[in-house]
Amino acid sequence: MSARPADNVDCTSASHARTHARAHSIRLVVIRRQIVTAIRRAFRVSKHLRDCSLRLKTLSSEMFKQMVKLHGLIVLMVMLFVSANPDDSLNRARRQTSAMFTIGAVLDSLDHGTEQAMLSGLQTVKMIYSKDDSRGQPLIKPAVIWIPKEKFLTATNDACELLRVGVVAFVSPPDPLIRQSVRMVSKQFHIPIIETHWDTDRSNSRFAINIHPSHDAFGDAVFEYLSSYSKWNHVILVLADYGNIVKHTAWLNNFEGTLVIRTLGADRFKWKAIVAELASSDARNFLLDIPYWYAKDFLVLAYVHNMTGEQYNYVFTDWDTHLLDLSAFKIDDGASISTFSITPNVGVHEPYGRGPFVENLRSTINKIERAQRYSDILPFLTASASLLYDSILLFGLTLLTLKDPITSRPGALTCDSEGAVFWPHGERLVREVKAFNSSKIPTVTGQILFDRHGYRSNFNMTILSLQNSGLQEIGYWTHRDRLQITHPIKKKKKIPKKPLTTVTLRVTTVPDTPFVIPKKFDAYGQPLKTPDAWEGYCVDLLNLISQDVGFNYTIDITMDHYGSRHVNESGEVYYNGIVGVVHRGEADMAVAALTITYEREQVLDFSTPFMTLGGSLLFMRPKTQKPSIFSFLQPLSPTVWAYVITTYIVVSVGLFLVARLSPYEWQNPHPCEAFSEEKENQFTVLSSFWFFITPLLNQGTEMAPHTISTRLLTGIWWFFALILISTYTANLAAFLTVDTTELPIESVEDLVAQTKIKYGTLQSGSSHDFFKYSRIPVFQRMWEFMSKNDVFVQNTEEGIERVLKGDYVFVLESSWNEFYNKRDCRLMQIGRQLDSKGYGIGLQQGSPYRDPISESILKLQKAQTLDQLKRKWWTEFNISEPCANAKEGSKEAKPLGIEQVGGVFVLLIIGFFWAFIVSVIEFCVHNKACVKSQGALFSEMWKELKFAMRCMTPSTRAKSSPPVIHEPTPVSITAAPEKPERSAEQETIEPVSVQSKGMLTVPMAESNEALLCPSANDMSSSGGSSVEDTYPLPVPPPPLPPQNTTGSPWSHLNNTQKKSPSMGEDWWTISQSAV
């Protein structure tokens, strides 16, 4: 029966739920119908607005047609007037072009080179057309919109903005994504677009003006160079991106040899693996289509993998590779490195001969390329800037000299226009530009001709090959003349190879310990030429190589050191030293500490390096500083000490405040009186400071916190003190026992930043040339300093002597640095190595002995023979005790002297005197307070001082003193206070009467001043007897007031919270200890 009502309730709730759901669905249907109705009304309104806009457009077009007719009549009248006045025909062009034309560009925010090329081209157009480059309004102006490269999606909107301005042409940006967006707008509205890049998608539209060489023309030039001149049958095509293969299709279809394609990609870390793979193959001919700023990186990897021999050939197809100074990579005679260019081949300081604006563009483009792409390029025009300059020149002159001039600009065009709306003059203008005769205009890339497909068919391609003095022109290619080699490369004759077992090689060297040391001399004091007359690292190495390869040798000395590059008065380049001796053929090889450099590689062939080193700084080791007398403060920095003191003050004050706030820290000063209303707080300001200083000194105090808050603060402070004291103790031993050395300079940056310490190198050599030709700002500043001061030395010994005199740093190879600072403990190396290089054996270019000698060095390196030789001559030769051993011996424990711990004594003395001064101040303040009722200040101070200075006086003093009685007389008094009322439970004891000298009674209600300020006469007595007074003692006896330093039993009431009513005049009998 009980379940039925529940079922009825459930049924009722379900019916209500269905009713609400039905009502909710009905409301949704109504709302949906209202929304549909509103949308239909919106469509009707939009249709009405569209009809209105169409009517307005129709009206505006009719008005535009009437204006065109009127404008045509005006032009006709002007032409009739001009024909009637022939002397005024020179101004015809100015009148018909009085309207300003605009060329627009959407460029990357960092592409300032394209803008500069546009401006230079328009200035040249104005100069040619008006014969005046400084007066008058420009006929064509640029309009540029800058956008970040990552926002290429907005390029279409930006091109539409330029379309509203009324541009007559677009300049295609270098970025391919932005370029595609501008192309779409150009194609839709028939606006010409000027392009200067490879048309990789082969979609040249009828509105594009692209003067970049076509794929077919470029393919013909490359094919003729590879097949006719280089005669390559096996080619490795290296691409930066696989999409660039489109521009190589023309010559690839005609090439009949073996072709391998490799893609480097954007990840430069993978290049090493790709180059290593190429090095392991049989490939020797490489055609590289990579950006010019990657060319040096690839050649460095090729050099590392020994791919720079005479059998290797490299051709770079980037038009701007000639901007790089590749002369340093001419390391092997016969290794061919070539490139192509479409700009004239001029000298670094030679003008192009195309006018002042071209030279201005040249310098500006050079600065931009240095800042954005490569910091070390030659001052030449880039291909993109040259092509854009020529395009603007061609388009501008065509626009201004049309026979049927354009009188309207596309200003009414917008990207929102509906229907077939476009500029009617765009296609005709493109045809006129491609038909323009450019033979008489000063273009940079030569005459511009187009084929029937709209591509440029004629261009001048210069062929450059790397020579000792850099890239030099060896020929050119044109559509009419085809390939022409004007300066073929002359191969140097190789030295005829002789059997090494029957040859005696002439070796030149420079005596320099420990590499080459003469030990036998002739009658004139000159070293003998036989191998046994010499010793040293290089001599031992040469003996091992001669035994392995099988040749004999003689050694001769060159007096002018290692040698460097020089230029005489006639401009000829020559080398002195052992480099010049080998280069002139006076010796077969140079064996010494000869550094391999790019300059020396131009005239010599080097073997595999037998020692790796770098530039370093040799400096005199500063003297060890004596420890400071306050060395005990050094384990913590001054900042940490300041933090510790501040924290100590803050926490001590915080303890005082916390103890005052906490009610549980107030305690009963009289534990025997359980119901006393008087409370006392033990943490005063001074006691708080004293309580927190003791943990820092590993001491304790009798005070202890009672509440949770004060205990928590105390525990945290103890933990802080534990960590601080442990850290301090751990570091204290190191600072007291270790001698510190402070270096005035620690790196090459510190050396450049100061002028007190001078620095220099040898008068000539690799270190000297390293700073002279360096392009690193730090080293350039060092060279400026060295060239202005007398800092160069003739030999290493002179440099070391100057170092030992002080304030001089000698820059030399790290091998010498290591050798000398191991023998003279006064010397040391500072900083890191300045560069990385190696020592090698120098031979004549094309010498047949290089490869056998290099193989022998590699064998010795594998057998660790070179390490043994270095250990012999650096660690064991002519050395009694290395500086490392002397340093280890000096690490023995030494007893601490007064210079280490003297500061502790100083601190103790200072504390002693401060304590004495404070005690004097306390003495004076106390007596000054007592003099108000006891006579003159100085007399009382004198009496108190005599009492304090009695050395035989006991250290006990009465709790209180009687009132001052100037003429005390012996009395016999028996006194006792009245008995207080006591309860029945209390048991009283009768007062004991004692008769003695000096006993008196004092009422408690009287002033305590006499008790606080006793006089010396009253406290002194003969015999040192003790006087006891009579007390009424309850059971248990009443507690006496606590003692304190002032001698008054009630002085503690100053720091006590008094909550009881005033006391009655109760009498006490007190005792005095007489002296």
Cβ neighbours around 964 below 10 Å, total = 16
Q: Which residues contact 603 (CB under 8 A, 6 or more apart)?
A: 575, 579, 583, 845
Identify whether the C-beta of residue 398 lies closer than 8 Å to the C-beta of residue 168: no
What residue type is 604 in one-letter code? L
Q: Is 299 helix (H, G, I), strand (E, B) or coil?
A: helix
Cβ atoms of 752 and 729 within 8 Å: the answer is no
* HEC profile of 585-632: CCCCEECCCCECCHHHHCCEEECCCCEEECEEEEEECCCCECCCCCHH
Half-sphere exposure of 354 (CA within 13 A, CB side): 27
- Cα-atom radius of gyration of the chain, to the nearest Å? 52
Residue that has been written with the tokens 């009186």 in this structure? 673
Closest CA to 1071 of 1023, 1017, 1031, 1024: 1031
Token pair for 608: 């595999």
Residue whose structure tokens are 């100053």 = 1054
Strand partners, 483: 477
Q: How far apart are CA 130 and CA 201, in angstroms?
A: 39
Contact 411, 361 (CB under 8 A): no
| 772 vs 750: CA distance, rounded Å | 20
* DSSP notation for 686-721: HHHHHHHHHHHTT---S----SHHHHHHHHHHHHHH
Which of 157, 170, 221 lies closest to 410, judged by CA?
170
CA gap 666, 1056 in Å, rounded: 9
Q: Is 813 annotated as a binding residue?
A: yes
Residue 611 φ then ψ, to 5°: -155, 135
Residue 513 CB neighbours (<10 A): 17
Q: Is 775 known as a binding-site position?
A: no
Q: Which two tokens stand for residue 71?
A: 């404008």
The tokens for 800 are 């070391």
Question: Which class for 81: exposed (0-12), middle (13-18), buried (19 or more C-beta within 10 A)?
Answer: exposed
What angle, 0 to 180 degrees and rounded to 10, lies between the N-to-C axes of helices 537-549 and 850-862? 110
In whole angstroms, what is the distance from residue 1022 CA to residue 797 CA? 91
193: burial class by Cβ within 10 Å (0-12, 13-18, 19+)? buried
How many angstroms separate the most distant Cα atoms in the chain?
A: 158
Determine the Cα–Cα distance for residues 353 and 66; give it in Å rounded to an integer.
Answer: 50
Say whether 766 counts as a known binding-site residue: yes
Q: Give the SS3 label for residue 843.
A: strand
Ligand-binding site membership of 767 (annotated): yes
Beta bridge partners of 574: 566
Tokens of 588: 């077969």
Q: Which residues contact 162 (CB under 8 A, 6 or more apart)?
A: 104, 105, 106, 143, 145, 170
Q: Torsion over CA of 848, 854, 860 and 865, rounded to 10 degrees?
A: 110
The CA distance from 432 to 446, in Å, is 19
d(CA 344, CA 357): 16
What's the rounded Cα separation, in Å, for the pair 361 and 363? 6
Which residue from 768, 773, 769, 756 is spatially nearest to 799, judged by alpha carbons?
A: 768
Kind and range of the H or E run holding 361: helix 356-372
Question: Which residues define the annotated binding site?
Answer: 595, 600, 766-767, 813
Instruction: Summarize the annotated binding site for L-glutamate as residue ranges.
Output: 595, 600, 766-767, 813
